[in-house]
Amino acid sequence: MAQFVRDHHGSELRIADVAAAVHLTPSHAMTVFRRTVGVTLGQYVTMCRVAEAQRLLLTTSLRVTEIAEEAGFGSLSSFYEHVSSACGMTPREYRRQGR
User: Which residues span the domain enclosing 12?
Assistant: 2-98
Mean pLDDT of 56-82: 96
Q: pLDDT tens digits, residue range 13-36?
A: 999 999 999 999 999 999 999 999
pLDDT at 79: 97
pLDDT at 5: 96
CB 55 within 8 A of CB 12: no
pLDDT at 98: 85
CB 1 within 8 A of CB 33: yes
- CA 72 to chain CA centroid, Å, is 7
Q: What is the CATH number for 12?
A: 1.10.10.60
pTM of the model: 0.90
Q: pLDDT tens digits, residue range 40-60?
A: 999 999 999 999 999 999 999
pLDDT at 99: 74
Mean of all residue pLDDT scores within the chain: 96
Report how many domains make up the chain: 1
